[in-house]
Structure 1
Amino acid sequence: MNRRLKAVAALGAIALVAAGCASENETGGDSGGKTLIIGVDLPFQGASADTSEATYNAMQLYLDQIGGKAGNYTVKLQKYDDSTAAKGGWDDATCSKNATDHVNNADEVAVMGTYNSGCAKLQVGTLNQAPDGPLLMVSHANTNPGLTKAWEPGEPEKFFPSGTRSYARVITTDDYQGAAAAQFASKDLQVKKCFVLNDNQTYGQGVAKAFADEAAKQGIQVLANEAWDAKATNYTALMQKIKSAGADCVYLGGIYDNNGGQLVKDKVAVLGDNKGAVKLIGPDGFTGYEDFQKLPAGEGTYLTFAGLDASQLKSAGGKGSKLLADYAAKYGKEPASSYVLYGVQALQVILAAIEKSDGTRKGVNSQVFSGAGISISAADAVLGKDLKIDPATGDINVRDLSVLQMTSGAEKFVKPWPLP
C-alpha cells in the first residue's frame, strides 16, 4: 500500500544563493554549517490527509527534540503535497511535478516519502538524475517490491538510470505482506475459496498478486483476481458475482482512497458481516483511515500492516513509545496510523546519512548506498530494533508484519505474523 524530506545541493550553488540575498543557508552556529532541506512528499488531501499531517507533525516534533541538527548541519523539513482535492488522493501529474520541484530545490538533499508506491515509481527516476545527485529518497510506507528488487519487467533497474541506487525504505514489502495474509487466511481463518480484488494501481495489483499466488500454494481456491472500478457508484453487482461464486473470503488489494468505503459497505450488504461466513481481508492500504475506522460495515475486517503496529511499539518502551506519548501530549490524541512512526524512522535514516556526509546530494546518497551503509542501534531507533539499510538494495534488514482486526471502531492488534 503506503509517505517527504529535503536538503542540500552543490557548494557552488549555495554560494551563489548566499551572494545574492540574505542567506538562510548559514546557520551562524558553532560549526559554521549550512541548512539542508528534507522534502516530505505525502498526500495532504483526501482520505490519507490525517495520516500525512500526523506523519509530518511527528517528524517535526522529533526534529525539534534533537535540536534540528544532523551533525554540523541544520535541517529543515519542507512539505510537498502529491495529492489533489479533485482526486481525493495521490495524483500522477502532481507526483511527477513534485519530482521536478525536488530536483530544482538546490538546498534539498533528500526526500522522505512517498506514501503510495505508484507515486514513488513516478519520482525515483527523476530524483536519480538530479544535478549533484542522485537525490536520495527514503520511504516509510512504499511496499511494492519492484522499487528495490526484481518484480515487474525492468524493475528495479529502470528506476536508477544513473547506474547508482538512490531509493531506500524502512518497511516490509508486499511479496511478504501478501503471502502472510494468505497464510493467515488459510491457517487461522481456514477459508477455502477467496475472491481477490485489486484497485488497478501499482500497489494494489502487487499485493493482490502476492496474496493470490500464496493462497494457491496454501490450498485456497482463488476464484478470480480482478479490478474494482474506483469511480463506481456501487458494487452490488460485483458482490452478487462473488456470492454466486461461493467465496468464503474476499481480499481487497488496494487503498481505501479508491472508494474503499463503498466497496466494504456493499460487501456487507450482499455477503454479510465480516465476522460471518465470508471473511473480509485487506492490506495496509486500508489501515490508518479514520473514516474506515468509523464505518460500521468495516467491523470485523482483518488487516495486515507491513510492520509493527503502534500498540507493540508502545508496549516495547524506548524512543518510539516516548515519541508517541509526546505526540499525544502535544496534539491531544495519538496518530491514526502506525505509519507515522515509520515516517520518523525514515527521517532517522536520512539524518544519519546527512551527519556522515559532506552536505551534498551525492554525499548524502553515498552514505546509504556505499561502504557499510546506514545502521541505527536499537537504543536510538524509534522502532526499537537494530536497523540496517542494505547498501546493495535499499531494503531494511528487519521484516515485521502485524495482523489487525477492526473492532469497536479501532484497529486492534491480533498477532504478529512470522515471516521467512
Structure 2
Amino acid sequence: MKIGFIGDLTGDNAAIVIPPRNGAQLAIDEYNAKNPKTKIELVPLDSKADPSTAANLAKTAVTEHKVVGIIGPAFSGESQQVQPILEEAKIPSISPSATRTALADAGASYWHRVVANDDVQGPAAAEFVARAVAPKKAFVIDDKSAYGQGLAQAVQKALEGKAEVQTDSFEATATDFSSTVNKAAAFNPDFIFFGGYYAQGGPLIKQLRDKGVKARFMSGDGALHTQLIEGAGAEQAEGTLLSCPCKIAYAWAEQDENAKKFTETFKSKFSGQLPEIYATEGYDAASGFIKAIEAGNTTPEKINEFLKTVDFAGLGKQVKFTEKGEVADTNVYIYQVKGGSIVSVGNSKDASLS
C-alpha cells in the first residue's frame, strides 16, 4: 500500500520538510521490518513549496500512484490547494506541519494534522512573551505567506493591549529587508516577532543587528531550525526565542528518554542528521496510518474512519483528532538559541528565561 508525502524537498525551506519526510520513512521502515502481511511504501512528492505544484502532485498521487493516504502537505499554502482535491477523491491526509487555522474550518472530513494551529501557537507565544519578556514596544513582521501572516496576526492580536505594537511585512521571496529594518529601527522596539521561515529569518536577524536593533527576536515553528543560526550568524542569533506546538527531539533528549532514543535512531539511519523540527510529527503522522493498516483497514475510506478513533502516545504528543481533524493536544513549547545551539526552555505555560 502506498502513502504519499507532499512537501518542499528541494526548495529554500526544504530543511524543515526533509525531517518529517525522514521521520515518516523511519516509522514505515520499522513497521515493514516486522514483515507484516501488508507492507507500506512511502512515495515522496516534491512540491518545492509551490501550491499549484502541490495540487498537481496530489492529483498524480491519487490517479497514478493510487495512494491510500497522504502525509502533508507540509506548508499551509500548499494545504489550502490540496485539501479540496483529496476531499473529493476521499483520500485521508495528515499534515505534520501546516498550522494555518483556516485549514480546519473548510469542513473537510478527510483532513487531519498532528500540530496545533496558529490560533493556539500565537496566543501561547504572546502570553509567554508578556510574562517572561514583558516588552513595552513590539514590532511584528510577516512574510506575506499563508503561514507567516496567520501566525503574525495571531501574535499581534494577543499582544495588543499588553504592549505598543507596530507591524510590517515583506514578500516571501525578499532578500533585502532594509525597508522593514529601517522601520524597526525608527520604532525602537524591545521585542520583534517574525512570522515566516528560517531562510529569511536568519538574514533578517543579521540585517537588524547590523543596523543596531537590539530588540529580543522571536519567531515560530517555521524558523525553528539550526539553519536560522547559520543565516544570522551565531553571535547575532544568540538569545533568539522560537515557539512550536511540537517537541524537538534532540532539544528534549536530556529530559525525555523517548526523545533521546529517537534522536539516536534517527541520526544512525540518516547519516548523523539531527531530527530537526517536525521529524517527530512526521513519525507520528505515519504511525497513524500504520495503526489503521495494522487494524486491517485497506481502503482510504476505512483508514479515514479509523483515524477518527485513534488515541495513542506519539513521540511528541498524544495523537487524537477532533471532529475538525485538529490534534487535541494544544501544548506549545519555547526554544532558545544558546551557544550556537537550539535548546528547550519548556512549556510556554510555565517556561522562564534565565
The answer, yes or no, to whether TM exceeds 0.5 is yes
Structure 2 residue 157 is the aligned partner of structure 1 residue 192 = no
42, 59, 63: which is aligned to 2:28?
63
TM-score w.r.t. structure 2 length? Answer: 0.90
* Offset, 1:216: 1.1
Structure 2 residue 61 is the aligned partner of structure 1 residue 102 = yes
Q: Tell me the equivalent position of 2:178.
A: 236
* Offset, 1:283: 0.7
Q: Tell me the equivalent position of 2:120.
A: 176
Which of these two proteins has the greater Rg computed from alpha carbons? 1
CA contact (8 A) 1:70 1:354 kept: no
Q: Tell me the equivalent position of 2:152.
A: 208
275, 300, 322: which is aligned to 2:239?
300
1:98/1:243 CA distance change after superposition, 3 Å: same
Q: Tell me the equivalent position of 1:8.
A: none
CA contact (8 A) 2:20 2:278 kept: yes
254, 269, 290: which is aligned to 2:210?
269
1:360/1:106 CA distance change after superposition, 3 Å: farther
1:265/1:53 CA distance change after superposition, 3 Å: same
Measured against aligned partners, the alpha-carbon deviations of 1:270-319 in whole angstroms (never above 9, x if no partner) come to 2434xxxx11111111012425346313222111112222232663223x
- Partner AA of 2:339 in structure 1: S
CA contact (8 A) 1:140 1:346 kept: yes
Measured against aligned partners, the alpha-carbon deviations of 1:93-144 in whole angstroms (never above 9, x if no partner) come to 21121121122135310001122111111101001111xxx10110111111
CA contact (8 A) 1:51 1:335 kept: no
CA contact (8 A) 1:142 1:171 kept: yes
- 2: CA distance between counterparts of 1:249 and 1:386? 33
Q: Tell me the equivalent position of 2:342.
A: 411
Structure 2 residue 316 is the aligned partner of structure 1 residue 316 = no
- 2: CA distance between counterparts of 1:263 and 1:286? 11
- 2: CA distance between counterparts of 1:316 and 1:356? 29
- 2: CA distance between counterparts of 1:128 and 1:186? 40
Structure 1 unmatched ranges of 5 or more: 1-35, 84-89, 149-154
Q: Tell me the equivalent position of 2:50.
A: 91
- 2: CA distance between counterparts of 1:117 and 1:70? 35
Moved more, 55-64 or 172-181: 55-64
Q: Which has the higher helix share?
A: 2
Secondary structure in 2 aligned to 1:44?
A: coil
Q: Tell me the equivalent position of 1:346.
A: 285
CA contact (8 A) 1:375 1:388 kept: yes
CA contact (8 A) 1:50 1:336 kept: no
CA root-mean-square deviation: 2.2
299, 309, 332: which is aligned to 1:360?
299
1:294/1:410 CA distance change after superposition, 3 Å: farther
Secondary structure in 1 aligned to 2:133?
A: coil
1:289/1:97 CA distance change after superposition, 3 Å: farther
- 2: CA distance between counterparts of 1:230 and 1:358? 41
- 2: CA distance between counterparts of 1:357 and 1:147? 29
1:261/1:272 CA distance change after superposition, 3 Å: same
CA contact (8 A) 1:345 1:382 kept: yes
Q: Tell me the equivalent position of 1:220.
A: 163
1:246/1:56 CA distance change after superposition, 3 Å: closer
Moved more, 139-148 or 326-335: 326-335
CA contact (8 A) 2:31 2:290 kept: no
- 2: CA distance between counterparts of 1:126 and 1:330? 34
Q: Tell me the equivalent position of 1:156.
A: 106
Q: Tell me the equivalent position of 1:26.
A: none
5 Å matches for 1:255-294?
A: 255-257=197-199, 259-273=200-214, 278-290=215-227, 292-293=229-230
- 1: CA distance between counterparts of 2:91 and 2:220? 30
* Offset, 1:330: 3.0
Secondary structure in 2 aligned to 1:142?
A: coil
Secondary structure in 2 aligned to 1:108?
A: coil
Moved more, 236-245 or 192-201: 236-245
Q: Tell me the equivalent position of 2:332.
A: 401
- 2: CA distance between counterparts of 1:197 and 1:401? 20
Q: Tell me the equivalent position of 2:193.
A: 251
Q: Tell me the equivalent position of 1:382.
A: 315
TM-score w.r.t. structure 1 length? Answer: 0.77
- Partner AA of 1:300 in structure 2: G
Secondary structure in 2 aligned to 1:399?
A: coil
List structure 1 segments (4+ residues) > 6 angstroms apart after TM superposition. Answer: none
Structure 2 unmatched ranges of 5 or more: none
